[in-house]
């Protein structure tokens, strides 16, 4: 049932859910108490949202009643369509500013938690944890709170003035971050490196932190990668195409990629294609940078692409230019398509996936010259697609989703519902 066409049942001020989203039982939707509420800000095309929806679907298949709770329901992943899930929008419209939208959503989320009383609130990404913490603060009968640490927590390991500023901000924000994460009954980190950071930088109890690495559906990626791409750049005899994927946001650092590409272009023919959405201003800044560097004709900002895997299969190189990550799905997907990769040594997860450079060169953040050299070197090497695909298969999505389903089921049941241990039974 698509949320676009669903009959909407009012819940409270500004909130609604589609009727019939849960299996029919003769009761009104409003009578259901969800086992799990999965919280994200909106339905934009991002890794956090994509993973949150996957986790919610897998939990529902495992028999848990799940709500997907959003501040507002705008984004590329709408229409929302799954027969076992309810979509709950806390506010009818998007705020012009996400920070202000988060603040405004605190009271509606708190009201939702009081009325619906989910047993578990799963905060799916770093951006939404402050909202979850505000809503649960001193709330009677609060749900078990799980925070999924989806991204590097400090962004401090950068070069230049941004590094100094980030370090100052990180020190100032550390007590707030620690207090926020301490509100969680359990923390799930998407990489071992990030888990270590949470323990070391925020002094969080290690026993509260689980590691569930990001995963991708390798079989689905391989299937979709075989689709035809009708783009003249991929025609036989054309120069190699380098691909970057992600939102046009400073985290992804596409200006670094364009600067490195411009240096590469001085030595050899090549083209750069960036797949991802962003603001008009961000897009214009990247296009102006390409023009200033004299490579505008060889740089394309393609926007959101439904099937990026077909592009990756035909690309000569994928480059992750990010300043920080949690664990990059795009990097794993490129490898699953057999596409050679180059990446910045950004926190976190990237060094883990590439095994200290065994599966692709790693370069320091903000070093355009080193990135250009790594790109040129990798383009000159054999693709080694089989090795890359085999590495990606170690991060198969089914294992990650099974771990989340087990974790959520355990939290929903609670200690009183756990089966007796073998020693107790004896």
CB 387 within 8 A of CB 359: yes
DSSP H/E element including 67: strand 66-70
Q: Which residues pair with 344 in a beta bridge?
A: 363
Q: Which of 76-80, 251-255, 371-375 has the lowest mean pLDDT?
A: 76-80
Strands, sheet with 15-18, edge to edge from the N-terminal-most edge strand: 8-12, 15-18, 85-89, 66-70, 36-40, 120-123, 144-149, 186-189, 209-211
Instruction: From 117, 219, 189, select the one nearest 407 (Cα to Cα).
Output: 189
Q: Write the burial class of residue 232 (CB in 10 Å: 0-12 exposed, 13-18 middle, 19+ buried).
A: exposed
For the segment 155-183, what is each residue's pLDDT rounded down to a tens digit? Answer: 544 455 455 545 555 566 788 899 999 99
pLDDT in tens, 387-396: 999 999 999 9
pTM score above 0.85: no
- DSSP states of 16-39 as a string? EEETT-SPP-SS-GGGPPPSEEEE
Burial class (CB in 10 A: 0-12, 13-18, 19+), 301: buried
**Distance from C-alpha of 36 to C-alpha of 84, rounded to nearest angstrom:** 12
- Rounding to the nearest 10 degrees, give the CA dihedral for residues 43, 14, 31, 141: 90
Where do we find the tokens 């229409």? 79
- The DSSP secondary-structure symbol of 358 reads T
CATH number of 8-215+397-414: 3.40.50.2000
Q: Which pair of structure tokens corresponds to residue 220?
A: 């689905």
Q: pLDDT of 316-365, one tens digit each?
A: 999 999 999 989 999 999 999 999 999 999 999 999 999 999 999 999 99
| Residue extents of the structural domains in the chain | 8-215+397-414, 218-393
- CA-nearest of 22, 2, 19, 14 to 118 is 22
Same CATH fold assignment for domains 8-215+397-414 and 218-393? yes
Please give the mean pLDDT across all residues of the chain.
87
- Specify the CATH number for 218-393; select among 1.20.1260.10, 3.40.50.2000, 1.10.569.10, 3.40.50.2300: 3.40.50.2000
């Amino acid at each position: 049932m698509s949320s676009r066409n669903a009959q909407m049942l009012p819940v409270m001020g500004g909130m609604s859910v589609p009727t019939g989203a849960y299996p029919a039982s003769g009761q009104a939707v409003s009578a259901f108490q969800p086992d799990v509420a999965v919280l994200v800000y909106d339905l934009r095309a991002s890794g956090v949202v994509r993973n949150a929806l996957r986790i919610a679907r897998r939990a529902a298949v495992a028999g848990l009643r799940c709500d997907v709770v959003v501040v507002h329901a705008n984004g590329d992943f709408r229409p929302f369509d799954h027969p076992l899930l309810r979509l709950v929008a806390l506010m009818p419209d998007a705020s012009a500013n996400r920070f202000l939208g988060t603040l405004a959503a605190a009271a509606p989320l708190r009201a939702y938690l009081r009325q619906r009383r989910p047993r578990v609130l799963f905060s799916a990404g770093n951006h939404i944890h402050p909202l979850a913490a505000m809503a649960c603060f001193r709330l009677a009968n609060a749900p078990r709170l799980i925070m999924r640490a989806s991204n590097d927590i400090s962004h401090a390991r950068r070069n230049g003035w941004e590094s100094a500023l980030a370090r100052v901000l990180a020190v100032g924000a550390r007590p707030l971050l620690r207090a926020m994460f301490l509100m969680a009954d359990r923390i799930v980190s998407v990489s071992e490196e990030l888990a270590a950071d949470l323990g070391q930088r925020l002094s969080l109890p290690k026993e509260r932190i689980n590691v569930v690495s990001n995963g991708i559906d390798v079989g689905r990626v391989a299937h979709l990668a075989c689709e035809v791409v009708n783009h003249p750049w991929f025609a036989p005899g054309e120069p190699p195409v380098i691909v970057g994927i992600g939102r046009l946001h400073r985290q992804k650092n596409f200006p670094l990629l364009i600067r490195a590409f411009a240096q590469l272009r001085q030595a050899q023919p090549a083209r750069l294609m960036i797949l991802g959405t962003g603001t008009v201003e961000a897009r214009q800044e990247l296009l102006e940078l390409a023009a200033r560097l004299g490579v505008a004709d060889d740089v394309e900002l393609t926007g959101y692409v439904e099937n990026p895997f077909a592009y990756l299969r035909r690309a000569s190189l994928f480059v992750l230019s990010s300043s920080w990550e949690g664990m990059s799905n795009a990097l794993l997907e490129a490898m699953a398509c057999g596409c050679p990769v180059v990446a910045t040594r950004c926190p976190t997860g990237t060094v883990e996936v590439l095994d200290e450079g065994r599966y692709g060169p790693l370069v320091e953040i903000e070093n355009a010259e080193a990135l250009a050299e790594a790109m040129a070197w990798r383009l000159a090497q054999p693709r080694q697609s089989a090795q890359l695909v085999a590495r990606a298969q170690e991060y198969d999505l089914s294992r990650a989703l099974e771990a989340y389903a087990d974790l959520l089921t355990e939290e929903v049941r609670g200690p009183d519902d756990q089966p007796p241990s073998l020693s107790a039974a004896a």
